[in-house]
Structure 1
Amino acid sequence: MSERLTLAGLSVPMRALRTLAAEYGDLPAPAVSVSTIYPERLELSLHKGLGEFEVWRVALGINPDQVQFSKQPGSTWTLKAFAPYVGAEIELIAYGPSLDSLRASTGDGGGNA
């Protein structure tokens, strides 16, 4: 049987969160998650579009080549990247509407510019 994880066992991602708040307090606020499944990871989720992801990506020094793009069923695009930060692994995720979804909501059918 494995050793029981305590709250102190999650101190690495919580310290990373505290440092992020001090260094980047002016950046868009993400949803934050710390999990006993990945006790060294801090997840930052952005749900108001993909633009906020880019701000965080630059702040964390994540190379654009490290960003994973995926499409969820329906009309949502997802960006994801990982980066080390003060001993923790940051998982940065953003969710935003696809271009087709944006075009539909603005009445722009697309086509040639």
Structure 2
Amino acid sequence: MSGLSRLAGLSVPMRALVALAAECGHLPAPAVGVTPIFPERVDLALHNGLGEFEVWRVALGIRPESVEFGEQTGDTWVLKAFARYAGAEVRLIAYGPTLASVRAVAGDGGWDA
């Protein structure tokens, strides 16, 4: 059994996660992912809109121009960025509704007042 197939093979992202919890415990809680597929990475996913992304971006020292923007399924915006933290690669990702989908739910048809 290789080192990467053992839990100990994930020590780098798990140490980073412990450091994040200690230093950024006041920030919104993300969904956390650690996998032997990317043994040096911890994923932080925010599913409550895009606003939480910004506070995490600042805390991780990610430059605004490093953020990638995308659209998923036509009604969800996605922000993604990478940082190095406590020896691990951190992938920060957030999902939020597009403006059109928010307006559709609100029923205003997209017209400005």
Report the TM-score when normalising by structure 2: 0.93
Q: Does 1:72 align with 2:58?
A: no
Alpha-carbon distance in 1 for matches of 2:63, 2:40: 21
Tell me, in whole angstroms, the C-alpha distance in 2 between the residues paired with 1:84 and 1:4: 22
Could you say which residue in structure 1 is the equivalent of 2:57? 57
Aligned-partner Cα distance in 2 for 1:109–1:51: 24
2:92 paired residue number: 92
Q: Which structure 2 segments of 5+ residues have no match?
A: none
Q: Is the 8 A contact 2:3 2:9 kept in 1?
A: no
SS of corresponding position for 1:70:
strand
Q: Distance in 1 between the 2:3 and 2:85 partners? A: 25
Using the aligned pairs only, state the percent identity: 68
CA distance in 2, matches of 1:107, 1:19: 44
Matches within 5 A, 1:1-113: 3-5=2-4, 6-112=6-112
Evaluate the alpha carbon distance shift between residue 15 and residue 4 of structure 1 in structure 2; reply closer, same or farther with a 3 A threshold. closer
Report how many residues are paired.
Answer: 112
Q: CA deviation at 1:109?
A: 2.1
CA distance in 2, matches of 1:13, 1:4: 14
Q: 1:106 deviation in Å?
A: 1.4
Q: How far is 1:18 from its partner? A: 0.4
Q: CA deviation at 1:9?
A: 1.1
Report the residue type matching 2:7 in the other structure. Answer: L
Tell me the CA shift for residue 108 of structure 1: 2.3
Alpha-carbon shift at residue 112 of structure 1 (Å): 4.3
Letter in 1 for 2:80: K
Structure 1 residues 13 and 24: alpha-carbon distance in aligned structure 2, compared to 1, 3 A threshold: same
Unmatched 5+ stretches in structure 1? none
Please identify runs of 4+ aligned residues in structure 1 that moved more than 6 A.
Answer: none
CA RMSD of aligned residues (A): 1.4
